[in-house]
Amino acid sequence: MPRIDRSVSRRSTIIQLAAVALSGIVPVCSATKPAARHPLNPARFAGAFVNWGPHGREVTLQGWEKWLNQAPSSVVGVDFYAQSTWQDFFTFDWVPGIWKKLNPARNVVWSVPLTVKGTALKDVADGLHDAEFETAAKAISEAQPKAIIRMGWEMNLQSMAWFAKDQEADYIRAFRRVVDIFRRHSSGLKYDWCPGWGPQDSPADLAYPGDDVVDYVGLDVYDFRFEGSAAERWDHFYLKPAFGLQWHKEFATRHGKAMSYPEWGVGNFGDNPFFIRQMHDWFVENESNIVYAAYFDVDGLWPTQIDNNQFPESQRLFQRLFGRES
């Protein structure tokens, strides 16, 4: 959900790629009490979207794994394919290959735009941009044939080019058409349908494209400046609201799908270890039905990076909870 510059310069340059009243935080002692249990597979919840750095996200992600004492190549990486124009689909077709070159063992979650600003979803659904998606599918499947494709994410946010309100039928047709294109390139790809948490700007479930083209039901969750204490905010704005965490679990269960959390993070509210604790405990509670979670470790419209000392209490707790025990 944080918006960052996900554009990429050419290979020959240093590459920079990217893809609400105040309250106090509960005392740190209550936020850092021992968890009910440690996850059986903490790496599953330790994925991340990280900075590109001088050599690529894979190198930065390796540093993230070391910081959390996770085994090499054990966490998923997240990236964004193309960004703002149809030409991007062709210009950036080399990016998946960089991940493969630096680490063939890494699996990646690719967030793929379902359209761009100025192009109606109907045009995509009618096949007018099949060539762009063919290029993306070929590039990703050749580099990561078992990648997770997060198509047209956060379709319930008005800021997205593929905002589904009042055009849900076209969103569904476009989603299904693009999945068919990707499937022709690799049978090992998985597809993640991922709203933004809460009511947002439209009801997300009206844009569900169908069980036959969805493998995982995702949800992006960020700590915002909502009213109330940290505990009240968790209960009212994350756990129990329409299209919140409980809805996510019930919706995924009803459709027989595993859950995912492709983006989550603190920062908009500030240093909030309580939110870190609650997200961790939600992951542990639902461990058997969550395929992956990925922290948004890049500062965008608001700061979310957690390994750079800007949120010290959250950082210490995150490292302890999501790190592998020696």
- Taking the alpha carbons at both ends of the chain, their separation in whole angstroms is 33
Q: Smallest Cα–Cα separation from 25: which of 240, 278, 249, 200? A: 278
**Token digits of residue 116:** 């761009």
Neighbours of 27 (CB within 10 A): 11
> Would you say 206 and 164 are in contact if contact means Cβ atoms under 8 Å apart?
yes
- Using alpha carbons only, give the angle 308, 318, 16 rounded to the nearest 5 degrees: 40
| Residue burial 61-99, b: 16+ Cβ < 10 Å; e: rest | bbebbebbebeebbbbbbbbbbbebbebbebbbebbebb
Q: What is the pLDDT of residues 295-308, one digit of tens each?
A: 999 998 899 999 99
Q: In this predicted structure, what is the pLDDT of residue 39?
A: 67
| Residue burial 109-129, b: 16+ Cβ < 10 Å; e: rest | bbbbbbbbeebebeebbeeeb
3-state class (DSSP) for residue 295: strand
The answer, yes or no, to whether residue 28 has pLDDT greater than 60, is no
Please enumerate in sequence order all residues whose Cβ is within 8 A of that of 237, keeping only pairs 6 or more positions apart, or say none.
198, 224, 226, 244
Task: Return the residue matching tokens 């659904």.
Answer: 125
CA distance 135 to 148: 16
Q: What is the pLDDT of residues 141-198, one digit of tens each?
A: 999 999 999 999 999 999 999 999 999 999 999 999 999 999 999 999 999 999 999 9
CA distance 81 to 18: 9
**Whole-structure pTM over 0.95, yes or no?**
no
The answer, yes or no, to whether residue 101 has pLDDT greater than 60, is yes
Bridge pairing between strands 108-112 and 221-222 = unpaired
pLDDT band with cut points at 50, 70 and 90 for residue 280: very high
187-211: average pLDDT:
97
